[in-house]
Amino acid sequence: MSSTEVGNGSAAAGTPAATIDLKLEVITVPVSDIERAKAFYEGLGWRLDADIARGDAFRVLQFTPPHSECSISIGKGLPAVFGTDEMAPGSQQRMELVVSDIEAARDDLISRGVDVSEIFHIDGGRVPGPDPARASYQSYASFRDPDGNSYLLQEVNDRLPGRTWDD
């Protein structure tokens, strides 16, 4: 048996939701070899939105998964330009990709040469196979890019209350 806690959509009890749109747009994914990472993400079928180079010290590529509103950026020279600490290649973990059919998504990734885990669900621990009821938020599979950055596929067909801004 599992339980899911549903929040009321506010940051803290009694605090109204923000009224200014803040959209998570891009997540930085640290890689050691830009060309190898570019080939990997293009091989996933992700759209290459930008490839920007400024001299030899700075290059950023931005990819967007199909139908996603959030992209990833890979590159070099980002910390120096944006005043942030360097992230080690492979240090970005458990980025969740929501899919409507976990079996089809897994099969597609495998057909593209990606090493994807078996599908699993949680029932007192990790259990092989999709959730028996195929309930949303309950079936998973995972994969890594060539540097070890990890992605978690999660099957979702019915969103929890409060998980869409139109609610």
pLDDT in tens, 92-111: 999 999 999 999 999 999 99
Domain boundary pick from 36, 64, 84: 84
Q: How far apart are CA 165 and CA 37, in angstroms?
A: 33
CATH number at residue 155: 3.10.180.10
Provide the domain limits for residue 108. Answer: 93-167
158 or 164: which leads in pLDDT: 158
Q: How far apart are CA 124 and CA 45, in angstroms?
A: 35
For residue 130, is it within any domain? yes
Residue 71: pLDDT over 70: yes
**Residue 5: what pLDDT?**
53
Same-domain status, 75 and 102: no
**Residue 4: what pLDDT?**
52
- Other Cβ atoms closer than 10 A to 103: 14
| Number of domains forming the structure of the chain | 2
Residue 45: pLDDT over 90: yes
Same-domain status, 157 and 139: yes
Same-domain status, 60 and 100: no
Find, among 99, 109, 82, the residue nearest to 28 by Cα: 82
Same-domain status, 31 and 97: no
**Residue range 35-51: average pLDDT?**
98
Q: How far apart are CA 150 and CA 131, in angstroms?
A: 22
For residue 17, is it within any domain? no
Most confident of 80-89, 99-108, 152-161: 99-108
**Residue 159: what pLDDT?**
79
Residue 13 binned pLDDT confidence (cut-offs 50, 70, 90): low
